[in-house]
């Protein structure tokens, strides 16, 4: 092997680049690994076993508790990686994934002791995934004053008042009908919060904050009736809004409320809605009117199966919303005749448009009249009707030709000149 390397002009022994890295950089690399994987690096070399194992210096702990683990093993693991850690070795990130903790006889007091010890180590970022109700431990979580980000994708129906999370910058939480008032109160107490992510199961709620700049809303099934589903946003500092929902057409559930709000600084929005039924069009139109002052907009709208195509974002007989500041639009939907006419109408109300991306998405189900659902986009430079890209539309000459192209569906030759 050595002779072959010499013939190829390579050194006789391969260079060990890993051993040449400083301890500080190795610790950073180990911090990105799950803790159980990082522990196994102790067998690599003497260097990784130095100072009672190099992985113990990692500022991050990532533990996933699976049903296959036995109680003595996970208790020993918690004691080794967390409870035995001293303040001289700070802990910045903690991520716990606990599947059915009752199966392991994990008491809430034991979990609280883990969180309390993590707090004494200066914990800044905490993420907990739990398949059971988390309420007994929630007071401990909201008492960790050093937290800068908190992710709780668990069923949390009770949120304590008088929180000390004055440094919290990012929060991910479930919003239920039972805790919506508590979430509203919590937002008023978080003076440094800039990023809020909510999994929404409530039909009526109100969110108010002077500091939030980024808001993500993921809507799931909840029982509500028509106009009774509504959301009020009062966020004067908000500049990014993400909305995602999955509809089940014709079911008894509503999944997206009428959204109203005071969001004057909103500059970018992403709307990702699937399974749209005709009865939801008014809700989507209201949402577009609410965000009509954005500069960047991404629309991903997938219709529910229906016999005849319908416009999924513009109410029949009503004018399209005006977007005076819109510069960049990315629209992905089934561009049948009604959607195509509506998008042209919307673009005519967007005088500041600079770039446009239109992508035709095929329906995933079988329609009775497939020809009615075919793309009406003008044929592009590649000779198909599936997508169209336009740029430099802020130039008056280009914009005029662009609108003419969309309205008359010009020939491929003309389209290629302006694509």
Kindly report the length of the chain.
419
pLDDT at residue 223 in the model: 43
Taking only the tens place, the pLDDT of each residue in 263-287 is 999 999 999 998 888 888 888 999 9
Burial class (CB in 10 A: 0-12, 13-18, 19+), 105: exposed
Q: Which of 51-65, 145-159, 269-283 has the lowest mean pLDDT?
A: 51-65
User: From CA 10, how far away is CA 288, in angstroms rounded?
Assistant: 62
Binned at pLDDT 50, 70 and 90, residue 202 comes out as: confident
Q: How far apart are CA 5 and CA 414, in angstroms?
A: 58
Residue 69 near residue 98, CB atoms below 8 Å: no
pLDDT band at 27 (very low <50, low <70, confident <90, very high): confident
Q: What per-residue confidence (pLDDT) applies to 285?
A: 92
Quickly state the pLDDT bin for 380 (edges 50, 70, 90): confident
- Of residues 369 and 226, the one with the higher pLDDT is 369
Q: Mean pLDDT of all residues in the chain?
A: 80
Is the pLDDT confidence value at 53 over 70?
Answer: no
Confidence of residue 232 (pLDDT cuts 50, 70, 90): very high
Look at the alpha carbons of 379, 383, 385, 388 in this order and tell me if their dihedral is positive or negative.
negative
Residue 284 is inside which H or E element, if any?
helix 281-290
Which neighbouring-strand residues pair with 62?
A: 95
Residue 266: partners with Cβ closer than 8 Å, 6 or more residues away: 238, 239, 240, 241, 291, 293, 294
Lowest-pLDDT range of 178-192, 230-244, 366-380: 366-380
Q: Which range in 20-29, 217-226, 290-299 is most confidently predicted, on average pLDDT?
A: 290-299
pLDDT bracket for residue 167 (50, 70, 90): very high
Q: pLDDT value at position 250?
A: 45
What's the pLDDT score for residue 39?
A: 67
Crossing angle of the two packed helices 396-408 and 337-348, in degrees rounded to 10? 160
Predicted local distance difference test score (pLDDT) of residue 209: 96
Statement: residue 14 has pLDDT above 80: no
What six digits make up the tokens of 294?
Answer: 């954005």
Which are the contacts of 175, defined by CB distance < 8 A and separation ≥ 6? 183, 198, 199, 200, 201, 202, 205
- Both tokens of 82, joined, read 């967390």
Query: Where does 11-73 show beta strands of DSSP type E?
Result: 60-65
End-to-end CA distance of the chain: 56
Dist. CA 179–CA 157, nearest whole Å: 5
pLDDT of residue 345: 87
The CA-CA-CA angle for residues 275, 343, 298, to 5°, reads: 60
Q: Where are the domains of the chain?
A: 59-168
Question: Is residue 43 left, alpha or beta, with left meaning phi > 0 and alpha meaning psi from -120 to 50?
Answer: alpha
């Amino acid at each position: 092997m050595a002779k072959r390397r010499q013939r190829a002009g390579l050194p006789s022994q391969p260079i060990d680049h890993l051993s040449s890295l400083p301890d500080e950089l190795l610790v950073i690399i180990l911090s990105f690994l799950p803790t159980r994987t990082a522990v196994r690096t102790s067998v690599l070399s003497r260097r990784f076993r130095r100072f009672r194992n190099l992985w113990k210096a990692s500022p991050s702990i990532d533990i996933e508790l699976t049903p296959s683990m036995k109680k003595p093993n996970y208790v020993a693991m918690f004691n080794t990686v967390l409870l035995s850690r001293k303040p001289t070795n700070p802990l910045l990130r903690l991520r716990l994934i606990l599947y059915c903790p009752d199966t392991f006889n994990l008491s809430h007091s034991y979990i609280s002791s883990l969180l309390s010890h993590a707090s004494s180590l200066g914990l800044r970022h905490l993420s907990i995934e739990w398949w059971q109700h988390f309420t007994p431990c929630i007071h401990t979580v909201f008492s960790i004053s050093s937290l800068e980000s908190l992710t709780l994708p668990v069923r949390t129906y009770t949120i304590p008042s008088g929180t000390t999370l004055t440094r919290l910058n990012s929060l991910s939480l479930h919003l239920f009908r039972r805790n919506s008032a508590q979430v509203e109160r919590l937002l008023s107490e978080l003076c440094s919060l800039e990023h809020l992510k909510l999994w929404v199961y409530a039909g009526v709620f109100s969110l108010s904050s002077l500091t939030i700049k980024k808001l993500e809303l993921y809507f799931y099934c909840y029982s509500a009736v028509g106009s009774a589903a509504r959301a009020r946003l009062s966020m004067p500092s908000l500049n990014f809004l993400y909305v995602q929902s999955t509809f089940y057409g014709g079911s008894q559930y509503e999944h997206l409320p009428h959204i109203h709000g005071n969001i004057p600084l909103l500059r970018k929005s992403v709307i990702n809605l699937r399974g749209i039924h005709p009865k939801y069009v008014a809700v989507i139109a209201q949402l577009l009117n609410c965000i009509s002052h954005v500069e960047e907009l991404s629309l991903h709208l997938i219709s529910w199966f229906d016999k005849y195509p319908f416009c999924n974002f513009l109410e029949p007989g009503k004018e399209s919303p005006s977007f005076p500041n819109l510069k960049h639009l990315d629209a992905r939907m089934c561009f049948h005749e009604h959607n195509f006419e509506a998008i042209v109408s919307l673009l005519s109300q967007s005088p500041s448009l600079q770039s446009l991306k239109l992508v035709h998405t095929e329906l995933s189900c079988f329609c009775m009249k497939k020809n009615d659902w075919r793309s009406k986009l003008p044929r592009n430079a590649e000779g198909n009707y599936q997508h169209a890209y336009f740029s430099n539309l802020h130039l008056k000459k280009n914009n005029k030709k662009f609108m003419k192209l969309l309205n008359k569906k010009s020939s491929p030759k003309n389209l290629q000149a302006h694509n």
